[in-house]
Amino acid sequence: MDTDLLIVGGGPAGCAAAVMAASVGMRSVLIESGDALCGALRRIPVVRNVLTATNGPDLAAAIEADLAQCELCRVELGHRATLIDAFDDRVEATVERVEATVDRVEATVERVEATVERVEPVGAAGSARAPGLRLTAPYVVVATGVGPLGPEGAEWLGGMAGRAVPQLWEADPAAIDDRTVLVLGADRPLGTVARAHPELKARFVVAYPPEDAYKTEEVRRDPRVELMAVRRLELGPGSTSAPVTAEVETVAGERRTLTADVAFLNLGSAPAPPAGAVAVDRSGYCPPGGQHPRIFTAGDLRSVRFQRIATAMGSGGEAALGAYYASRDLPMETGGPPTVVGGPPGPAGGG
Ligand SMILES: Cc1cc2nc3c(=O)[nH]c(=O)nc-3n(C[C@H](O)[C@H](O)[C@H](O)COP(=O)(O)OP(=O)(O)OC[C@H]3O[C@@H](n4cnc5c(N)ncnc54)[C@H](O)[C@@H]3O)c2cc1C
Express each pLDDT in 161-175 by its tens digit: 888 899 998 899 999
Q: Which of 32, 55, 75 to mutate to test the pocket of ligand 1 (most atoms within 8 A of CB)?
A: 32
The Å distance, Cα 38 to ligand 1 centre, comes to 7
The Å distance, Cα 337 to ligand 1 centre, comes to 34
How far, CA to CA in Å, does 98 sit from each of 38, 105, 108, 155, 246? 17, 11, 11, 33, 38
Q: Which residues, 6 or more positions from 75, have their beta carbon under 8 angstroms from its beta carbon?
A: 10, 18, 30, 32, 37, 67
Alpha helical stretches, state H, 27-171: 56-69, 99-104, 106-118, 122-125
Ligand 1: does its nearest atom lie under 6 Å from the Cβ of 192?
yes
The Å distance, Cα 14 to ligand 1 centre, comes to 10
The Å distance, Cα 112 to ligand 1 centre, comes to 23
310: enclosing H helix or E strand: helix 309-327
Q: How far apart are the C-alpha atoms of 71 and 246, rounded to whole Å?
A: 55
Query: Which segments of the chain have a pLDDT < 50?
Result: 101-102, 105, 108-109, 112, 115-130, 343-351
pLDDT, position 131? 60
Beta carbons of 17 and 32 less than 8 angstroms apart:
no
Read off the pTM: 0.81
Ligand 1: does its nearest atom lie under 6 Å from the Cβ of 4?
no
Strand partners, 52: none
Ligand 1: does its nearest atom lie under 6 Å from the Cβ of 144?
yes
232-269: pLDDT as tens digits = 999 998 765 668 999 999 999 999 999 999 999 999 88
Q: Cα 146 to chain center, whole Å?
A: 3
Q: How far apart are the C-alpha atoms of 187 and 205, rounded to whole Å?
A: 13
Phi, psi for 299 (deg, rounded to 5)? 80, -160
Ligand 1 atom with minimal separation from the 34 CA: 47
The CB-side HSE value for 259 (13 A sphere, CA atoms) comes to 2
